């Protein structure tokens, strides 16, 4: 799906090096999370979490409930402030230049419903105004057509079915043609046919528009189909990272779901040799 990237080569001391030429300019990332830590009193919600998302790459952020996925997303959105560490969006430091960093970012989640007293078209226009979208009327029409919402343009979002609400939320998430898109369980309320269409739209967004996408899901079949790379979290720490199609076999698991279950139940043992 993506252009060839420098390989990471394992070394005898357990570290890695890149095979990129020594004078190569650092690769520009859609997202760079650097040693994110979040502490609530005596509880550590995130513990030195670092990962990247390249332009045009779909990265799955995986883990059981309470692993730190939503905390991570809220930090990237600027809703939560990290205790330490930093978030760079398009190499812009979120803490220093919040408006600039978030101008090309958007978000959709099953728990983040659109205002129910506004119609579908009103919601798209409202969020388009927040992002100062030029040619907003045309952009709203494009999204209504693209997500099969044209017949529902005058329907209040609170009256939509769960599947229709999901499509409206995804349309909202694309209103500003983001370069970084955060998706938290984006297809959870969709039937298999609708979910497949949404997955194809998201993959097209990555390949054609070079949007970097951070995707959380408990559907391992979906993750296997959609994601270029996955990061497994447990208790706020990154345990494993790699290609979802090869990672299970590298750790003695038959499928991605088997690996997920093992990591959820025995996180510390699972990161060792299989």
Q: What is the pLDDT of residues 8-51, one digit of tens each?
A: 444 434 444 445 555 555 678 999 999 999 999 989 999 999 99
The CA distance from 253 to 224, in Å, is: 14
Residue 130 has pLDDT above 80, yes or no: yes
Residue 3 predicted with pLDDT over 60: no
- pTM of the prediction? 0.85
What lies within 8 Å, CB to CB, of 93 at 6+ separation is 86, 87, 101
Which band of pLDDT confidence, cut at 50, 70 and 90, is reported for residue 73?
A: very high
More confident residue, 150 or 197: 150
What dotted CATH number matches 38-104+178-265? Answer: 3.40.50.300
Average pLDDT, the chain: 88
- Residue (of 98, 101, 84, 92) closest to 46 by Cα position: 84
Residue 203: pLDDT band by 50, 70, 90 thresholds? very high
271 vs 259: CA distance, rounded Å: 10
Position 12 scores a pLDDT of 39
Identify the pLDDT of residue 24: 53
Q: Is the distance from CB of 129 to CB of 122 less than 8 angstroms? A: no
Q: Cβ(219)–Cβ(242) under 8 Å?
A: no
Among the listed residues 26, 184, 213, 5, the one whose alpha carbon sits nearest the alpha carbon of residue 104: 213
Res 253: pLDDT: 93
- Taking every pair of C-alpha atoms in the chain, what is the biggest distance, in angstroms? 63
Given this model, what pLDDT does residue 19 score?
A: 52
DSSP string covering 49-107: EEEEE-TT-EEEEE-STTSSHHHHHHHHTTSS--SEEEEEETTEETTT-HHHHHTTEEE
Q: How many residues does the chain have?
A: 274
Q: How confident is the model at residue 179, as a pLDDT?
A: 96
Question: Predicted confidence band at 186 (pLDDT cuts at 50, 70, 90)?
Answer: confident
- Residue 247 · residue 239 · CB < 8 Å: no
């Amino acid at each position: 799906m993506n252009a060839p990237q420098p390989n990471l080569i394992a070394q005898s001391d357990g570290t890695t090096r890149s095979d990129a030429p020594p004078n190569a300019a650092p690769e520009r990332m859609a997202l760079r999370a650097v040693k994110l830590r979040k502490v609530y009193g005596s509880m550590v919600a995130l513990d030195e979490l670092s990962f990247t998302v390249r332009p045009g790459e779909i990265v799955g952020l995986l883990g059981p409930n309470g692993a730190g996925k939503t905390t991570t997303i809220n930090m990237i959105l600027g809703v939560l402030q990290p205790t330490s560490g930093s978030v760079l969006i398009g190499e812009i430091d979120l803490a220093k230049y919040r408006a600039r960093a978030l101008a090309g970012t958007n978000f959709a989640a099953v728990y983040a419903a659109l205002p129910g007293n506004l119609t579908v078209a009103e919601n798209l226009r409202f969020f388009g105004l927040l992002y100062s979208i030029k040619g907003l009327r045309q952009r709203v029409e494009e999204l209504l057509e693209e997500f099969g919402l044209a017949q529902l343009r005058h329907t209040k979002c609170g009256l939509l079915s769960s599947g229709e609400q999901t499509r409206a939320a995804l349309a909202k998430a694309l209103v500003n043609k983001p370069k970084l898109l955060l998706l938290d369980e984006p297809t959870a309320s969709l039937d298999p046919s609708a979910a497949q269409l949404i997955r194809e739209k998201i993959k097209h967004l990555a390949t054609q528009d070079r949007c970097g996408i951070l995707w959380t899901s408990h559907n391992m079949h979906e993750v296997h189909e959609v994601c270029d790379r996955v990061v497994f979290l447990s208790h706020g720490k990154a345990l494993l990272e790699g290609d979802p199609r090869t990672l299970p076999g590298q750790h003695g698991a038959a499928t991605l779901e088997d690996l997920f279950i093992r990591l959820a139940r025995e996180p510390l043992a699972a990161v060792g040799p299989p």
